[in-house]
Amino acid sequence: MFETKRLLKVPENRKVRNDLRKAVRLHFAENKVLPPSNLETLEIHAEKILSKLNLNSEFLDFTIVLAGNEIWRETVASVPFNRRLLLLPQCLKSQLSCKAEIDELGLICAGCGSCKIDSILSRAEELGYSTLVAEGTTVAIGLVEEGSIDAVIGVSCMSVLQKSFEPVTQAAVPAIGIPLLYEGCVETTADYDWLFSEMELFAENEKIRPISVSLIKNDVLNYFTGENLQKHFNSESVTAKLAAKMMGMGGHRMRPLLSVLAYQSYTKDFSEKVQESLSVIIECFHKASLIHDDIEDDEDERYGQPTIHRTEGIPVAINVGDYLIGKGYMMLANNSVNAEIISKCLKVVAASHTRLSEGQGDDIRLYKNIFNLSVDDITGIFSQKTGEAVKVALLTGAICGNAPEIDLTHLKAFSEFFGIAYQIRDDLNEYREENDLKNAFDFPFLLVLLNLELKGSGISLKDLIHGYKLNGLAKEFEKFEIEKKAETWLDQFLQKCYQELDQLLNLKLRLSLYAVMGKVFKK
């Protein structure tokens, strides 16, 4: 983020503001930067722009705001007005004559005309905007995440724009920020001509219009209702009925969602039938792995219900898992795409299936081998165990949408890094849960880090793990700052994820996966 003592200053002179806006636009026309961008990149570009104009650094932060606006402008402009939010600050109101009421969401304009808010809201509502008069960065992000809007145009003071940068970037919210002309919380003002020009800009461009992850998630969830599943599991056999029951059980449906996001991002010939089939196929493979995992881990519950091997016995559960694998392959082979695409998908799924099984095999043997594992060893297991499932979902969707090979390469790497980051975060969460009956092997990454620290200390990790329970480990974790070290590793793999996303040619999927990352790894 910004340094602590910086000049959050907006040029008072309109000509200076407009000259800077024009210079920023010309600069990024020649130096393309895809959104979202980190602050360091924007600052480098802002410094170059100021240097070219022979302006000093007093307007650096203002130029950074303009740079952020510019890289998002095409994306925001591609969003229909009725999918945008206009966010205004309450400090635009007149303190003396304002007749507005304020509720839990913000100011409810009375239309008294004593300030500019009424005319701005009237124009926004004519265009079809949703509007909010409040300090609403969190609300705005929430509205994007729930699928109500796809882009935000916000007016705020520079300090609030500064604080909003990180959460807005992390959530990949397409946004344009109009800074107030001066800092203050009473009767402030803005460049209204600039605001209206941004509000009224629309340029239809389906290639870059962002996909609403939340709306697609609702579509995906509908594929797993009892009625829809009946289309795919219409056999009267007990095995098919148990498989359908497992398919209908809870979960976030993240893997089918990833597949659909990839498919929609690339396809030029959308088919609802193909999309639904992909969702069910990916979930078949996922649910099969869960059934087998539950047997291997001797789990009692899944989604708050008894596991199949508890209610039906291990032989039946193994068979249902096998049935779901076969069902997934059968549906993939019969998918409504050309034979070349089916062949390519089958190769991806089969390769990932074997790698995932190898990773699961190593995971099962962790009890014996963890004392000899390096960080590379354990992250390799995570990559196979979790990363491969993500990879299958993204690649099958992308392949069915005819994605270019270069993007498939980056999606493969992203999936592996995502799987590692997900498992490290999961291990940290497991350790931090309030549970006196913790199994130390629920957080193997932390054990590996501790084991490496203990080498040469005369203390044995084996001696610390009594009956595979936590016991004396907590003190050693604290002594060697294991949680902090794990967080550092997590951040490193998250950065690797973002580095791969930044190289995707497809902006739709790039933004969608940024949004998924922001939600899954929300701090």
DSSP calls for 498-520: HHHHTT-S-HHHHHHHHHHHHHH
Position with higher pLDDT, 102 vs 382? 382
In a domain, 386, yes or no: yes
Cα 344 to Cα 349: distance, rounded to the nearest angstrom? 9
**Looking at the structure, do residues 191 and 215 belong to the same domain, yes or no?**
no
Residue for token pair 């992390």: 170
Instruction: Say if residue 1's pLDDT is above 50.
Output: no
Cα 346 to Cα 26: distance, rounded to the nearest angstrom? 47
Total domains present in the chain? 3
Last residue of a domain, one of 199, 230, 259: 199
**Looking at the structure, do residues 23 and 159 belong to the same domain, yes or no?**
yes
Cα 297 to Cα 260: distance, rounded to the nearest angstrom? 30
Does an H or E element contain 4, and which? none
**Looking at the structure, do residues 328 and 222 belong to the same domain, yes or no?**
yes
**Picking from 83-97, 149-163, 205-219, 487-501, which range would have the lowest pLDDT averaged per residue?**
83-97
What pLDDT sits at residue 4?
42
In the predicted model, what is the mean pLDDT of residues 380-397? 96
**Looking at the structure, do residues 252 and 173 belong to the same domain, yes or no?**
no
**Looking at the structure, do residues 121 and 236 belong to the same domain, yes or no?**
no
In a domain, 107, yes or no: yes
In a domain, 4, yes or no: no
In a domain, 348, yes or no: no
Query: Residue 476's pLDDT band (boundaries 50, 70, 90)?
Result: confident
What pLDDT sits at residue 187?
66
Last residue of a domain, one of 336, 361, 392: 336
Count the Cβ atoms, other than its own, within 10 Å of residue 51.
11
320 near 239, Cβ under 8 Å? yes
Residue for token pair 């993007």: 407
Instruction: Supply the DSSP symbol for 403.
Output: -
**Looking at the structure, do residues 33 and 178 belong to the same domain, yes or no?**
yes
Count the Cβ atoms, other than its own, within 10 Å of residue 97.
10
Around 258, how many Cα atoms within 13 Å sit in the side-chain half-sphere? 27
Instruction: Say if residue 419's pLDDT is above 90.
Output: yes
In a domain, 362, yes or no: no
In the predicted model, what is the mean pLDDT of residues 373-394? 95
Residue for token pair 């190898």: 358
Query: Residue 2's pLDDT band (boundaries 50, 70, 90)?
Result: very low
Cα 384 to Cα 520: distance, rounded to the nearest angstrom? 19
Amino acid occupying residue 247: M
Cα 196 to Cα 21: distance, rounded to the nearest angstrom? 15
**Looking at the structure, do residues 171 and 280 belong to the same domain, yes or no?**
no
Cα 517 to Cα 417: distance, rounded to the nearest angstrom? 12
- 22 backbone dihedrals φ, ψ, rounded to 5°: -65, -40
Which one, of 354, 344, 347, 349, lies nearest residue 384 by Cα? 354
Count the Cβ atoms, other than its own, within 10 Å of residue 45.
22
Last residue of a domain, one of 199, 222, 240: 199
Query: Which residues, in sequence order, are CB contacts of 478 under 8 Å at separation 6+?
Result: none
What pLDDT sits at residue 115?
64
What pLDDT sits at residue 255?
96
Instruction: Say if residue 337's pLDDT is above 60.
Output: yes
Does an H or E element contain 116, and which? none
- Beta-bridge partner residues of 133: 88
Structural domain containing residue 487: 378-523
**Looking at the structure, do residues 42 and 162 belong to the same domain, yes or no?**
yes
Query: Which residues, in sequence order, are CB contacts of 191 under 8 Å at separation 6+?
Result: 14, 17, 178, 181
Query: Residue 145's pLDDT band (boundaries 50, 70, 90)?
Result: confident
276 near 317, Cβ under 8 Å? no
- Beta-bridge partner residues of 306: 301
**Looking at the structure, do residues 174 and 225 belong to the same domain, yes or no?**
no
In a domain, 7, yes or no: no
Query: Residue 93's pLDDT band (boundaries 50, 70, 90)?
Result: low
Tokens in use for 44? Answer: 């480098």
**Looking at the structure, do residues 188 and 247 belong to the same domain, yes or no?**
no
Q: Is 313 left (phi over 0), alpha (psi -120 to 50) or beta?
A: left
410 near 504, Cβ under 8 Å? yes
In a domain, 361, yes or no: no
CATH label of the domain that carries residue 493: 1.10.600.10
**Looking at the structure, do residues 324 and 409 belong to the same domain, yes or no?**
no
pTM of the predicted model as reported, rounded to 2 decimal places: 0.89
Average pLDDT, the chain: 89
**Looking at the structure, do residues 166 and 263 belong to the same domain, yes or no?**
no
DSSP calls for 185-204: SSS----HHHHHHHHT----
Instruction: Say if residue 69's pLDDT is above 80.
Output: yes
In a domain, 489, yes or no: yes
Position with higher pLDDT, 324 vs 465? 324
What pLDDT sits at residue 111?
62
CA distances to 156, 383, 498, 505 from 494, rounded to whole Å, are 30, 13, 6, 20
Instruction: Say if residue 133's pLDDT is above 90.
Output: no
Instruction: Say if residue 21's pLDDT is above 50.
Output: yes
Burial of 381 (0-12, 13-18, 19+ CB in 10 A): buried
In the predicted model, what is the mean pLDDT of residues 248-277? 94
- The string of pLDDT tens digits covering residues 147-198 is 889 999 999 888 888 888 888 888 888 999 999 988 766 667 889 999 999 9
Which one, of 230, 350, 201, lies nearest residue 285 by Cα? 350
